[in-house]
Amino acid sequence: MMFNRLATKTISALRPATRGIHSTTPSNAKVAVLGAAGGIGQPLSLLCKLSPEVDELSCYDIVGTPGVAADLSHIPSKSSTLGRLPSPVKWPMGPNEGLKEALEGSDVVVIPAGVPRKPGMTRDDLFNTNASIVKTLVEGFYMFHFSVEKAIISNPVNSTVPIAAEVLKKAGVYNPKKLAGVTTLDVCRANTFVANHHGWDPKDVDVTVIGGHAGITILPLFSRVNGAKFSDEELEAITVRTQFGGDEVVAAKAGAGSATLSMAYAGYIFTENVLKAQRGEEITQCAFVESTLTEAQYFASPVKFGKNGVEEILPLGDLSAYEKQWFDKMMPELKKQIQKGVDFVKN
């Protein structure tokens, strides 16, 4: 019993305050992680295994998932664990039963699959490899007739979310309420940097971050943080650091990887909030979704999640003069990255 209490206390300490209304409806949830053996996938799977919101954890990747699942299964938490690999190549050709078993019965599917960034690489450099990976995985949803909430972590998110949408549109099964790009890491970084600057507890900070999930398309709205004060130089520095926080980690790891641990944490927070919403809590969190707020077809902003996924995209509200400058600079780049994902599937 002591170890179970320890696991519960540990995950509770990791969880920040969320904007939501508590519900006592019991959960019975399955989460599938596609890319579970990777640098983001393993710590993300660990956090999901510890989460009291998860009853079954399904791990899928092209290698290593039986070992990852076996390792996770020794952790004393309530969720069961399974690990699946792609089905062996056979003739006559058949469906990927490994992916089917991983997806079957899932309430949320999180996709961190793909190659990581290395020094000197941009998210655009990742496009060709990760675009194909996301396309192939998403094709499994309609192939096996699964309608489930999908959370895309694979970079570049500004392009991979449109790729997923176009694949599903082609199959006639697209539901914009059930597809979102995870931009939670941008919020986590903004919260941390503001708290560090002011000597606050990060759990008391909630920065709204809009736009996309790459460089200048990331726009933290620091003007809306009560009590936050910055000089012009400090505001510029903290904005740019939030936008290029991933580069900071890539450089610090010196070729050994990208932001895997913090991204895993952000993915876990997003996933857990979606599960809470499915069982009746009112949850608002930033996400990259199909949107009519701006000229961009997809846009990250505060979104209300409910039992069926995206329920409402909240109004954008007023921007400060400083934020408006960044917004105008961001939009052409964001639309370009979105169109690149659309064209990848259409062409």
Active site amino acids? 213
Give the burial class of 299: count Cβ atoms within 10 A of its Cβ; 0-12 exposed, 13-18 middle, 19 or more buried: buried
C-alpha–C-alpha distance, residues 246 and 180, integer Å: 20
CB atoms within 10 A of CB 97: 13
Whether 271 contacts 265, CB under 8 Å? no
C-alpha–C-alpha distance, residues 164 and 134, integer Å: 7
For 175-209, give one letter per residue: b (16+ CB within 10 A) or e. bbebbbbbbbbbbbbbbbbbbeeeeeeeeebbbbb
Residue 247 makes CB contacts below 8 A (sequence gap 6+) with: none
C-alpha dist (Å) from residue 239 to 57, 242, 254: 36, 5, 24
C-alpha–C-alpha distance, residues 67 and 59, integer Å: 10
CB atoms within 10 A of CB 48: 32
Which residue is it, tokens 């078993």?
A: 101
In this structure, which long-range contacts are made by residues 95-98, counting pairs with CB atoms below 8 Å and at least 24 apart in sequence? Answer: 95/143, 95/144, 96/140, 98/60
Whether 205 contacts 196, CB under 8 Å? no
Whether 280 contacts 23, CB under 8 Å? yes
Q: Which amino acid is at 14?
A: L
